[in-house]
Amino acid sequence: MGDSRFGRRRFLGLAATAGAVAAGATLLGEPVAAAASGVDYEGLKRALRGPLLRPGDAAYPAAAKPYNAALGVRRPAAIAQVATVDDVRTCVQRVRGHGVPLAARGGGHSYAGYSTPNSGVVVDLGALKSITVRSDGTAVVGAGCRLIDVYAALAAHGRALPAGSCPTVGVAGSTLGGGIGVTARAYGLTCDHLKSATVVTADGALHTVDGNHDADLFWALRGGGGGNGGIVTSFTFGTVPAPAVTVFTLRFPAARTAKVLQSWSSWMDAAPHQLSSLCAVTAAATPTNRVTGTWTGSPAALAGHLSSLIAAVGAAPAFRTTHTYGFLDAMKYFAGCLNQTTAACKAGGPEPFRAASRMLERTVTSSVAGQVVSLMSRQRGMVLLFDSLRGQVAGIGTADTAFAHRTAHASVQVYSGNAANGPAVLAVQQALRSAVGTGAYVNYLNPGQSDWASAYYGANLSRLRRVIKKYDPDRVFDFAQSVLRA
Ligand SMILES: Cc1cc2nc3c(=O)[nH]c(=O)nc-3n(C[C@H](O)[C@H](O)[C@H](O)COP(=O)(O)OP(=O)(O)OC[C@H]3O[C@@H](n4cnc5c(N)ncnc54)[C@H](O)[C@@H]3O)c2cc1C
């Protein structure tokens, strides 16, 4: 359940102030290839079915923009808007070996812009957006699809895939890093529903990977993080019958925020799997709070669960709302585009933000809640998003997929819509290390985090390194926080 739980636009209005964009900003440690790379771009252009955009082309500036506008202007050497799987293979075969960064791009929402490397070649998968829903409920999803497209296509068949709350996030990047959705406790992570994937590996070969074929790569693709080991061209997911989803929001008086966080944590630890929720602590002199979530049990039964939380907080919420929707409308509700078309849900463009994460490893005590609130009382334009895990997420072993945080109670995202808040976000994330835990979620990565490798991958790090090196021995898919550098 991400930072756009209330919809990106609604969220920014509530919690953040857009700041100045650092034009031309570069990322820490990003490889920048020499201009004279030896890649035959004219030959590559002729060999592709889809267009190859280069600096100077009219469509290049828009295509080169990452979602995170705080990253400033990106200048890839070329953007291949691939039309076919063969185009992907051609890109890999013609670019590899020249020392030029090569990156896949799904939805372009990488927090650090790793899908749009300066001086590199972007393999933009946006045109691979077909979705086929089979009679057995499995869905074959092109790697260029956005989450809202997947939700809408599945809804037409009465099916659902648990995934994130931002409509324009790519199914590719989010699945490869795990995929925490608003119903995660009820249905697990997006990657937990992956049955197989087609992948172009660093040698240009196309593999169909699953539990019996290249099972080590299949393991790595479920939580090992986008950009590692190959370029996925399609995902085959198992889906679930689309549930009715009761969404809820409670806000308690700001003076109770520490008690809200502590109570929320204990409440989620004891809650049934059908209940998932997020507790937001927003920076202010007296930090404010918001508890929002989903319930997939009988709508009438939610009231009793909310009463337990209210009793634990010891104060009536100043604001309370619940609505029951079909799965697609619930996703639109969180995206801030309820009652709008799927196309309208995708209208939001790039936005500036700074973010980082931790994983909550224990139930929040009153002392930790006090530390968190004290930390946020000294910040502005920032929010901490405690997003519940466990439930079905914990039903899979830590070693069973590359997602290393199976026992975590929650992910904790530090988020600011102010581009100037990068150092403050990182400082808060570091301060949370002792209070909540050492882990971090690779989909909420931060390019300045020094302990990133162990934080993202924990106990799975050495196995992941071995697998990725096996499939990419020549470091074709390399970037500042690639598993090859972990
Ligand atoms: C507004 C917003 C809301 C979000 N909400 C959530 C949420 O609710 N839950 C959650 O879990 N996450 C959430 N995220 C995080 C999101 O999951 C990650 O940013 C994810 O990496 C984005 O995937 P993408 O395809 O859009 O990004 P991209 O930038 O295209 O890709 C991300 C990484 O994956 C690589 N990659 C992309 N496509 C492929 C491919 N086909 N094969 C191999 N590698 C590939 C890229 O090279 C890059 O390294 C959110 C992000 C944003 C910006």
The model's pLDDT over 181-213, given as tens digits with 9 standing for 90+, comes to: 999 999 999 999 999 999 999 999 999 999 999
Q: Where in the chain is the domain with CATH 3.40.462.20?
A: 8-13+244-457
Q: How far is CA 112 from CA 31, 107, 331, in A?
A: 13, 13, 25
Write the single-letter amino acid at 247.
Answer: V
Each residue's pLDDT tens digit, 88-119 = 999 999 999 999 999 999 999 999 999 999 99
34 pLDDT more than 60: no
CATH number assigned to the domain covering 8-13+244-457? 3.40.462.20
Distance 260 CA to ligand 1 centre (A): 31
Each residue's pLDDT tens digit, 414-462 = 999 999 999 999 999 999 999 999 999 999 999 999 999 999 999 999 9
Percent of the chain having pLDDT more than 70?
92
Q: Where are the beta strands (DSSP E) in 5-84?
A: 52-53, 78-81
28 pLDDT more than 60: no
For residue 13, what pLDDT band results from cuts at 50, 70 and 90?
very low
Give the residue, by CA position, lying nearest to ligand 1 atom 14. Answer: 2
Distance 226 CA to ligand 1 centre (A): 7
| pLDDT confidence of residue 33 | 44
Residue 316: left if φ>0, alpha if ψ -120 to 50, beta else—which one?
beta
| pLDDT confidence of residue 10 | 35
Each residue's pLDDT tens digit, 285-309 = 999 999 999 999 999 999 999 999 9
**Residue 229 Cβ < 6 Å to ligand 1:** no
Helix (H, G, I), strand (E, B) or coil at 52: strand
CA–CA separation, 129 and 40 (whole Å)? 28
Distance 227 CA to ligand 1 centre (A): 10
| pLDDT confidence of residue 48 | 98
CA–CA separation, 19 and 12 (whole Å)? 11
CATH number assigned to the domain covering 39-124? 3.30.43.10
- In terms of Cβ atoms closer than 10 Å to its own Cβ (0-12, 13-18, 19+), residue 419 is buried
List the one residue out of 273, 270, 292, 272 whose CA is nearest residue 281: 292
Burial track 78-113 (b if 16+ CB lie within 10 A, e otherwise):
bbbbbeebebbbbbbebbbebebbbbbbbbbbbbbb
Report the nearest atom of ligand 1 relative to the CA of 144: 41
Helix (H, G, I), strand (E, B) or coil at 147: helix
Distance 225 CA to ligand 1 centre (A): 9
| pLDDT confidence of residue 374 | 98
- Residue 287 has phi, psi (to 5 degrees) of -55, 140
| pLDDT confidence of residue 14 | 33
Each residue's pLDDT tens digit, 122-179 = 999 999 999 999 999 999 999 999 999 999 999 999 999 999 999 999 999 999 999 9
Helix H or strand E encompassing 406:
none
368 pLDDT more than 70: yes
**Residue 115 Cβ < 6 Å to ligand 1:** yes
Distance 88 CA to ligand 1 centre (A): 19
**Segments in 314-460 forming alpha helices (H):** 327-335, 342-345, 366-377, 422-436, 452-457
CA–CA separation, 266 and 76 (whole Å)? 47
User: How is residue 255 annotated by DSSP?
Assistant: G
For residue 18, what pLDDT band results from cuts at 50, 70 and 90?
very low
Q: Give the fold, CATH level 3, of 131-241+459-473.
A: 3.30.465
Helix (H, G, I), strand (E, B) or coil at 465: helix
31 pLDDT more than 90: no
Q: Over the chain, what is the mean pLDDT? A: 93
Tokens of 181: 């959705």
CB 111 within 8 A of CB 445: yes
Helix H or strand E encompassing 227:
none
User: How is residue 68 annotated by DSSP?
Assistant: B
In this structure, of 22-36, 81-95, 390-404, the range with the lowest mean pLDDT score is: 22-36
Report the nearest atom of ligand 1 relative to the CA of 166: 3
Tokens of 369: 């809640």
Residues whose CB is less than 8 angstroms from the CB of residue 73 and which lie 6 or more positions away in sequence, other chains included: 23, 24, 64
- The 206-209 sheet, strands edge to edge: 131-133, 139-142, 231-237, 194-200, 206-209
Which residue among 71, 79, 140, 176 is best mutated to probe the pocket of ligand 1, counting the most ligand atoms within 8 A of its Cβ? 176
Tokens of 119: 């001086």
What is the mean pLDDT of the segment spanning 322-346? 97
**Residue 166 Cβ < 6 Å to ligand 1:** yes
78 pLDDT more than 80: yes
Q: Where in the chain is the domain with CATH 3.30.465.10?
A: 131-241+459-473
For residue 349, what pLDDT band results from cuts at 50, 70 and 90?
confident
| pLDDT confidence of residue 348 | 82
| pLDDT confidence of residue 37 | 67
Distance 293 CA to ligand 1 centre (A): 22
